[in-house]
Amino acid sequence: MRFFLLSAALGLLATSNALTWQQPFGHNLFGSFFGLPGQDAEYDYVIVGGGLAGLVAAERLAENGTFSVAVVEAGSFYEFSNSNKSQIPWYSESSVAPTLDGYVNKMIDWDLITEPQPQLNNRQIHYAQGKCLGGSSARNQMIYDRGSKGSYDLWAKQVGDHSFKWDNILPFFKRSMHFNPPNVGLRGANATPSYDLGAYSPDGGPLQISYPNFAMPFGVYGVPAMRAAGFPQAKGFSNGELHGVDHNPFSIDPVHQLRSSSEATFLDYAITNGLPLTVYPMTQAMRILFNGTCATGVRVHSSGMDWSVRARKEVILSAGVFHSPQLLMVSGVGPASTLRGHNISVVKDLPGVGQNMHDSCAIGGVMHKTNITNPAITQAVMNDYINNGTGILTNSGGDVLAFEKLPPAFRSKLSNTTLEALSQWPEDWPDMEFLPLNRGGPTDAAGAEVSMLMVATISRGNMTIRSRSMLDKPLINTNWLLDPADQELAVQAYRRAREIWTYFPATGVDVGEEQAPGANVTTDAQLLEYIKEQGVSAIHHGSSTNMMGRADEAMAVVDSHGKVFGLQGLRVIDSSSFRFTPPGHTQATTCELLLSLVWDLQGLYVLT
């Protein structure tokens, strides 16, 4: 049904100049879900960005039944712009990172590159951001987990609003998604995940959370090896407890074994149920329109045409960690000195816009030759996926996670300054995430890796505008590993990964020579140089460039309701408005934040 609706809608979109938005006989036609390019229009709410955040907000507002909602999205449908690379889980990694020759599909990606990073030997790193309906939920590797209880309690404390405490946000986590238990008969031996059914609701949705119908070979060995290395058994990473190791769930449709993005779920639900939602695809928001300090709409551009999409109630920015602050700045909201430097009239001086970027990052991994291989992608494997929804194509690759604070043997090597910096995070906030990953096909000299992500980062980055135009890419400084505390932690994480490898032989893995960083890389200085030169890469968990905070915080941009300080009719509801990046992976937190703030916006969610 979904594919029929999408095809029918797009077919009418091609002739939309002959259509007007209408509800004949009280029902929407397929083509009615697309705004007319070049024609001014007005809605109750105008949402800029049709990604994970924007489509969740749009569907929930439209579901109210009394509001008209418009979504302005610079991209289109990823199913057409990137074919099945964005749908089939196994292809997800190849659709996120540039190819070996540097190719990036600019129909679905903004092709953002960081500025040279001095602390990483002046490397410039691609930072994937979804440019399509579904946004980065159409680009990520679909891992679904939630932050720790303590991380949300800390968020609530810092912004002065207890509605963000774990006990208060758990109902919104449950409401946004539907959990599907694993099909253990298809996953193979020793690959049964643990999970806590109390973390889910049978009435949640429409986002689908499930497990692949195939378990990655090295991950199957990784669970017992990491248990032996001291990791406790986790229970699905959605109950507010991250410490431990387990097979992790994904945002995958369990019936078709396809990506379950916000486009495939929230937007599809809105269209199928005829909600009052209008989408402007392939339409770039150029600036926010103001009447004094009140936002009244957005000026947009598409196919050589410029027009206004106005908001009777509010403009909501959901354009992501880089483009939401960029749109604020080109519209006159941000650091006054920056705006004047680009000859932009200042509507509101907010020095925190574009600052405070908080991000996890990958730091590479320790790789060995092993006897564990991936199946070849043969025609038989493809037929198995097409006909039965089984096999390796159902899995995106990283299906076992292991979180921990580094054990005392490694933490004791950290300086007092680093330990003090890490103490800002709650006790249940892990230092590191480890992933056992296959790194070789059946015909290669097979390799496997204990990969690492830093989730207790101290460094803060920033972004700013290159010009007064949204058509020019922003200037991005992630500042990964800029703080010495992050450097110290990264080095000790490599030493911990090497220790973890010593537990694999007992599970039946033949562990050969270390391929990376290599047996000759032994000192702290050598390890750090390797991490800087080859290890660090993006995992796209950036947040807080429009940081949520209290009114008396100079660098806060929005309050705990997502409202931009000093302005009316303007909210930011996406990862840029996070207080910080919680531990784990961010798509669950983004959904929860959206749902809680949208309920708050409608006056449905009030705590005393």
Are the beta carbons of 584 and 146 closer than 8 angstroms?
A: yes
Q: State the sign of the Cα–Cα–Cα–Cα dihedral 542, 546, 549, 554.
A: positive
Kind plus residue range of the DSSP H or E element containing 448: strand 447-454
Q: Which two tokens stand for residue 181?
A: 């238990």
Number of H helices, E strands in the chain: 18, 25
Q: Which two tokens stand for residue 189?
A: 């031996």
Backbone angles phi, psi at 476, to 5 degrees: -120, 125
- Whose CA is closest to 251, among 315, 207, 216, 291? 207
Angle between helices 587-601 and 166-176 (to 10 degrees): 100
Are the beta carbons of 64 and 41 closer than 8 angstroms?
A: no
Measured from the Cβ of residue 591, the count of other Cβ atoms closer than 10 Å reads: 25
Are the beta carbons of 456 and 489 closer than 8 angstroms?
A: yes
- Whose CA is closest to 73, among 34, 113, 23, 21? 34
Angle at 206 between CA 591 and CA 141, to 5 degrees: 60
- Torsion angle in degrees (nearest 10) through CA of 74, 79, 81, 82: 120
Kind plus residue range of the DSSP H or E element containing 594: helix 587-601
Helix (H, G, I), strand (E, B) or coil at 313: strand
Q: Which two tokens stand for residue 559?
A: 């309050």
Helix (H, G, I), strand (E, B) or coil at 91: helix
CA dist., res. 299 & res. 469, Å (int): 12
Length of the chain: 608
CA dist., res. 587 & res. 261, Å (int): 10
- Whose CA is closest to 592, among 153, 161, 172? 172
Cis peptide before 582 (omega within 30 of 0): no
User: Could you give the residue ranges of the DSSP H alpha helices within 349-470?
Assistant: 379-388, 408-411, 416-422
Cβ density class 356-383: b for 16+ within 10 Å, e for less: bbbbbbbbbbbbbbbebbbeebeeebee
Q: Which residue in the block uniquely carries the two structure tokens 């695809």?
A: 281
User: What is the set of active-site residues?
Assistant: 541, 585
Kind plus residue range of the DSSP H or E element containing 139: none
Are the beta carbons of 86 and 108 closer than 8 angstroms?
A: yes
